[in-house]
Structure 1
Amino acid sequence: MATSTPLASGEAATTTAGLPVIADPTKVAPRDARELSRIFFDRLQVLEEGTPAYQYARNTLIEMNQTLVRFAANRFRNRGGGEMEDVLQVGTIGLIKAIDRFELSREVEFTSFAVPYIVGEIKRFFRDTSWAVHVPRRLQELRVELARAKELLGTRLDREPTVKELAELLDLPEEEVVEGLVATNGYTAGSLDMPASGEGDSGGSARTFADVIGEDDPDMEKVENLHALAPLLDQLDERERNIVRMRFGSEMTQSQIGAELGVSQMHVSRLLNRILTRLRAGMLVEE
């Protein structure tokens, strides 16, 4: 370990839980952070959740690995909008999730495990904040496919492709392509004070878009999430789907599921983590 690691009073200083006391975890060099993280994760697995020693270990891991958040956030520095502070905050949420789910028994470096979580949270942030209006997730995904298809056909044809040509390339109905092209308008917004339906020529009595705009149905997001989740569940094998059904359909505890399957509660926990990680990754919209 490098001698530059900022311990509280020498490298021998430890907490009652046998962990090094680090005065400022944010100043630990990345190489030292990797070595120290193994020590802290090893202790975190045996410490009781909620105790001061547990909180110290968890909080130190979060602060010590902030370089991973900054590394991942740099991939999005050209997105613009002055949102880098928000990006770092949501990236830290991904880091915390990775810390809570990481196990040394995985035999992978924590950095390799954590970065996908961090990037996933940042992508989710841009997915949820980049659209000027609420657009169903399937149309957000279709917008990305259409953008790629338009670029490919535009280069090939040396002109703007037609709806029919886009539909043939993507093997989609023309109606769905039109719906996707219309949805791209959700990426920009006009003023709500603009006259609706060309009524601005009649003077001050014209209705504006603000007068006629509707409200979001709060249940629509649930419907969209279920719509996006269905094909991902179909990709699971029968045992994995059964575990999801028991945990979230029948609301069984991990111990009850373990008894049903003849495995330990810890094994059920690992299976659930693996399944949910796959489902979360599938729900992310690739930009």
Structure 2
Amino acid sequence: MHTVAVLALDGVIPFDLSAPIDTFRWARLPDGREAYRVRVCSPEGEVSAGTFTVRTPYGLEALAEADTIVLPGVEDPPDTLPPGVTEALRAAAANGTRIASICVGAFLFAATGLLDGLRATTHWIAAPDLAARYPGVSVDPNVLYVDNGQFLTSAGAAAAMDMCLHMIRRDHGSAVAAHAARMAVMPLEREGGQSQFIVHDLPPAPAGATLEPLLGWLEDHCDRDLTLDEIAAHAGMSTRTLNRRFREQTGTTPLQWLHRARVRRAQHLLETTAHPVERIATQTGFGSPTAFRERFRRVVGTSPQGYRRAFRSERATETG
């Protein structure tokens, strides 16, 4: 299990603390197991969060055991971190641990020197101060988050959740990230440069609805160039009845639902395989690569190759 250490310092901003805790804890693997173990730690064992005090069960030793460290913002970011914090963060970084900051947590991150020479972001209102305090950091106030690979920084409160979903998607794929997004009541995972990549869940039918078997069949056969007449024949309905029931039970039409199923399968293949676009176009029933590229860009907001660059898993294989 992947371990996330959330480092709380005195004056921690409550939402900056809760956002990563909730988002990572909501992530579930396909078999239902938790995807992350979340540990809140601090140098002192107790920190102020403004209107309340937080007791943390872990000390700085938790940073050495973490796969990911998250630095929430504090109300008044200090120029110098508490004793032992810089050393612990730099040691974790040297071991390859992923480190991410939320909002003005970028000031804490920059104080370690780990962001020198890198692009970073923070809340737009604090960006000029961050750039003035740490001239070695290239501050971009116009993006939601910046992913430098091992080191990530995010802007305000909502952007923190976008960044956490981005990391979940990187680690475990879109289905796990989609579940965490639904639990957070976030229908979108916005890409760092502010373009929006939609988590394309298919419109569900109510539990026990008459269309449930048909929807499963459509997902299994979305690689075929199905017509409305073929779908209606399989369902044993007229096309008029089929359209009416789809509208009633899913809020969309059969062909629109099928197109979204194809796009979702294409997203999965782009993330998890090295298949060329031409092959994915065939596997997802789009036929020609040109039709696939046009439909994918219209629905997702980016090209298939652009999507693959952003979300392809490190475990992607040629065979998939």
**Smaller-chain TM-score range?**
under 0.3
The structure having more radius of gyration, on CA atoms, is 1
**Which structure is higher in strand share?**
2
**Which structure is higher in helix share?**
1
TM-score, scaled to structure 2? 0.25
TM-score, scaled to structure 1? 0.27
